[in-house]
Amino acid sequence: MRDDDSYCERPFPGPTFAEVVARRISRRAVLRGGLAASAAFATVSPAALLAGCGEKDAAPADHGTGVAFAELAHGVDETVHVAEGYDVDVLIRWGDPVLPGAPAFDPAAQTEGAQAMQFGYNNDFIGFVALGGQADHGLLCVNHEYVSPEIMFPAIPEGLDEVARTAALKQQAAVEMAAMGGSVLEVRRKDGKWSVVPDSRYARRITVTTPMALSGPAAGHALMKTAADPDGKTVLGTLNDCAGGMTPWGTYLMAEENFHKYFGGNLPENDPRRASYFRYSIPGGGSWSVLDPRFDAAHEPNEPFRFGWVVEVNPFDPASTPVKRTALGRFCHEGAESIVNKDGRVVVYMGDDSRFEYLYRFVSDGKVDADSREANAGLLDKGTLSVARFNDDGTLAWLPLVHGRHGLDAAHGFDSQAQVLIDARRAGDVLGATPLDRPEDVEPNPKTGKVYMMLTNNPQRGAPGYPPPSGPDPRADNTAGQIIEIAPDGNDHAADTARWELLVLCGDPTREAVGASWNPATSANGWFSSPDNCAIDPSGNLWVATDQGGAWAYNSGLPDPETQAGTLPAGATADGLWYLKTEGEGRGTGRMFFRCPVGAELTGPRFAPDGEALFLSVQHPGDSDSSKWPAFDRPSTFADPATRWPDFKPDMPPRPSVVVITKKGGGRIGSA
């Protein structure tokens, strides 16, 4: 997700996460004889960093659980890079055909109809579900998060009158709506190479206009009803799907994130919905509101309440209706990854990707039926949604968001369980949940039972009026982020409590002001900033993708580049993928595996079931302040982009793409 999220002023009923971290680390330092005594929190020394200054190590180094590869170096250029001994192939690009009969991609003459049949823009989450139990044949489920019009479309000609310009903008908006949503692809490996199966019966495009059902407690609530849907149970489309998840029964979860950005217009001053609008940053100033009345709050004030949900899709049936599961709550979802608890219930972990927002967990009432996909169809409609409070003794309490309990009642503006779920953020405020630094992907590890939460960054921490930084992690104007490890008590993901640890504090450990903490074995290229998405490979190893936004040009955790104009500071790097050790003596050691082109963000890492393929989304190449790259040094546009990856043809703009990585000669990704 590009770092353009919003934050709303509100009271903070509990201690801030920075305050909890400060007390927690202070307590550990006393118990263990100082911060440096713990490998998990050890600051890397300059001497240790010198070991990895080249493009790659002289020889692979094993950091645990069978992972060994020669890592890449920090840097930036116009293409992708992967560790030595691996191949990276483009599987599918923006504009490539998905549905049978899709026309050839013509970036200079895009249409809504063509785009609705082609692979969408800014691919993010990737899910894989095997067909026939085969690791080399399956369905790939891919989110299309948002669009980048400045590098996606030719510039609208100057001198058009208002009528012609409005018509051009409407046509562009229609293409944008068709470019978002998701794609379902059939993929197959043959002779060691993966490809998309053309004209597949499973192929599907989901867009902003795809009809969807609303289910669960909020379906039919007054706030879900519109003039077009007086029953409040049917909605058109899905917005800004970032990360997501795959259920144990093989369905695809699309997580709606920054939906507020697409709405404009204002409510009257005395409208009771204004409190909810404010808490969710609505209106977000989106241009669609002047082109499509359903995105104008003044015209249809309930439409924003119909977004911000988790959408469940059956990838095996292209004719099936996607369902927004309201029991999972409404907020800016970054992911919805699940695990089957030891009692058979499904547990879904979700982050709310905005500054000072919360971590959530859903526990189903019913148990997973491993023998029948159909029997699990309504499993996500009934259960308990909770929000997390982090305590300074290293414990975590899950606070149930249940109407009528602990202030979630009419006195605080909640008329029902539906209202609690629609305004999950406000419910979290009432319960005193812990405000976090952009909780993004949250992944349970099925091998260990531990859960990993990516806290991407928070440049507002420490600014006037916001929670302050504290302790050994100053994090003022924090662009570095951190990773939290959560261990459910008794390995019970439905338990009321858990324990948490800081795995790493990200950023450049050689810069004292950053306050980064890594294992001393981490090389000069093994540290990273702004963890975003993550993946657990079949052996239980953690891999982390980054989203630095425009801060890639300094990639240190510092707010400003320490360099002269026209150059980049040492360590500046494009986003990429790192292996991060979580167990044993090397816990907290990072190692760089893959690097994106300039301006791109890496998202959606997903391993094939046998671990012999790794699917990655390379999102918005040539975007994210590519002008900071001295080799380009100007705005990146459709006509003049910073890179033309992956085609590198003069008539093709940069194209967001899914790539697949395989090991030369075969074998598991990362294996020795």
Please tell me the least confidently modeled range out of 205-209, 353-357, 367-371.
353-357
Q: Output the pLDDT for position 8.
A: 46
pLDDT band at residue 291 under the 50/70/90 scheme: confident
Q: Output the pLDDT for position 443.
A: 97
| CA-angle at 359, arms to 354 and 363, nearest 5° | 140
Largest alpha-carbon pair distance within the chain?
72
Give the 3-state secondary structure of residue 414: coil
Spatial separation of the C-alpha atoms in residues 423 and 410, rounded to whole Å: 13
pLDDT of 431 above 70: yes
Residue with the bigger pLDDT between 446 and 59: it is 446
pLDDT of 308 above 80: yes
Q: State the amino acid at position 80 in one-letter form.
A: V
513 C-beta neighbours (distance < 10 Å), count: 14
Residue with the bigger pLDDT between 435 and 565: it is 435
Q: Prior bond to 597 cis, omega within 30?
A: no
Residue with the bigger pLDDT between 56 and 508: it is 508
Half-sphere exposure of 666 (CA within 13 A, CB side): 6
User: For the residues 267-272, what does the mean pLDDT come to?
Assistant: 94
Residue with the bigger pLDDT between 465 and 522: it is 522
The separation between the first and the last C-alpha atoms of the chain, rounded to the nearest angstrom, is: 32
pLDDT band at residue 473 under the 50/70/90 scheme: very low
- Of the candidates 606, 631, 622, the residue with the CA atom closest to the CA atom of residue 654: 622
pLDDT of 33 above 60: no
Spatial separation of the C-alpha atoms in residues 49 and 45, rounded to whole Å: 7
Q: What is the pLDDT of residues 69-90, one digit of tens each?
A: 999 999 999 999 999 999 999 9
**pLDDT above 90 coverage of the chain, percent:** 76
pLDDT of 358 above 50: yes
Spatial separation of the C-alpha atoms in residues 652 and 637, rounded to whole Å: 12
Q: Output the pLDDT for position 566.
A: 58
- Which sign does the torsion angle of CA 363, 369, 370, 372 carry? negative
Q: Output the pLDDT for position 567.
A: 65
- Cβ neighbours of residue 226 under 8 Å, at least 6 residues apart? 232, 294, 300, 302, 303, 306
pLDDT of 65 above 70: no
Q: Quick check: 583 and 65 in contact, CB under 8 A?
A: yes
Residue that has been written with the tokens 């074995």 in this structure: 521
pLDDT of 353 above 50: yes
pLDDT band at residue 51 under the 50/70/90 scheme: very low
Question: Residue 462: which region, alpha, beta or left (left: phi > 0; alpha: psi -120 to 50)?
Answer: left
Q: Output the pLDDT for position 497.
A: 98
pLDDT band at residue 21 under the 50/70/90 scheme: low
User: For the residues 421-428, what does the mean pLDDT come to?
Assistant: 98
Task: Retrieve residue 92's tokens.
Answer: 């599918």
Spatial separation of the C-alpha atoms in residues 145 and 244, rounded to whole Å: 11
Q: Output the pLDDT for position 10.
A: 52
Mean pLDDT across the chain: 88
Write b or e for each residue in 118-157: b if 16 or more Cβ atoms lie within 10 A of its Cβ, otherwise e. Answer: bbbbbbbbbbbbeeeeeebbbbbbbbbbbbbbebbbeeee
Q: What is the pLDDT of residues 208-243, one digit of tens each?
A: 999 999 999 999 999 999 999 999 999 999 999 999
Residue with the bigger pLDDT between 162 and 51: it is 162
Strand-pair category, 383-390 with 395-400: antiparallel
Q: Output the pLDDT for position 480.
A: 87
Spatial separation of the C-alpha atoms in residues 190 and 187, rounded to whole Å: 10
Spatial separation of the C-alpha atoms in residues 99 and 210, rounded to whole Å: 15
Q: Quick check: 573 and 556 in contact, CB under 8 A?
A: no
pLDDT of 286 above 90: no
30 C-beta neighbours (distance < 10 Å), count: 9
For residue 142, the 8-state DSSP code is E
Spatial separation of the C-alpha atoms in residues 518 and 41, rounded to whole Å: 6
Q: State the amino acid at position 595 in one-letter form.
A: R
Q: What is the pLDDT of residues 316-346, one digit of tens each?
A: 999 999 999 999 999 999 999 999 999 999 9
Q: State the amino acid at position 353 in one-letter form.
A: D
Q: Could you please report the per-residue DSSP string of 394-412?
A: SEEEEEE--TTSTT-SGGG
- Which sign does the torsion angle of CA 107, 109, 112, 118 carry? negative
Q: What is the pLDDT of residues 583-606, one digit of tens each?
A: 999 999 999 999 999 999 999 999
pLDDT of 40 above 50: no
pLDDT of 150 above 50: yes
Q: Output the pLDDT for position 394.
A: 87
For residue 16, the 8-state DSSP code is -
**pLDDT above 70 coverage of the chain, percent:** 87
Q: Output the pLDDT for position 64.
A: 47
Task: Retrieve residue 488's tokens.
Answer: 């459910």
401 C-beta neighbours (distance < 10 Å), count: 26
Q: Quick check: 102 and 114 in contact, CB under 8 A?
A: yes
363 C-beta neighbours (distance < 10 Å), count: 19
Strand-pair category, 211-215 with 323-325: parallel
pLDDT of 56 above 70: no
Q: Quick check: 496 and 477 in contact, CB under 8 A?
A: no
Q: What is the pLDDT of residues 625-648, one digit of tens each?
A: 899 898 998 999 999 999 999 999
pLDDT of 615 above 50: yes
pLDDT band at residue 476 under the 50/70/90 scheme: low
User: For the residues 561-567, what does the mean pLDDT come to?
Assistant: 54
User: For the residues 287-294, what does the mean pLDDT come to?
Assistant: 86
State the SS3 of 519-585: CCCCCCCCCCCCEEEEEECCCCCEEEEECCHHHHHCCCCCCCCCCCCCCCCCCCCCCEEEEECCCCC
User: For the residues 310-316, what does the mean pLDDT come to?
Assistant: 98
Q: State the amino acid at position 369 in one-letter form.
A: D
Residue that has been written with the tokens 């309201």 in this structure: 326
pLDDT band at residue 466 under the 50/70/90 scheme: confident
Q: Quick check: 380 and 327 in contact, CB under 8 A?
A: yes
- Of the candidates 578, 625, 579, 618, the residue with the CA atom closest to the CA atom of residue 601: 618
The Cα-based distances of 203 to 93, 139, 145, 146, 237 in angstroms read 15, 9, 19, 21, 18
Q: What is the pTM of this model?
A: 0.92
Please tell me the least confidently modeled range out of 129-138, 438-447, 459-468, 582-591.
459-468
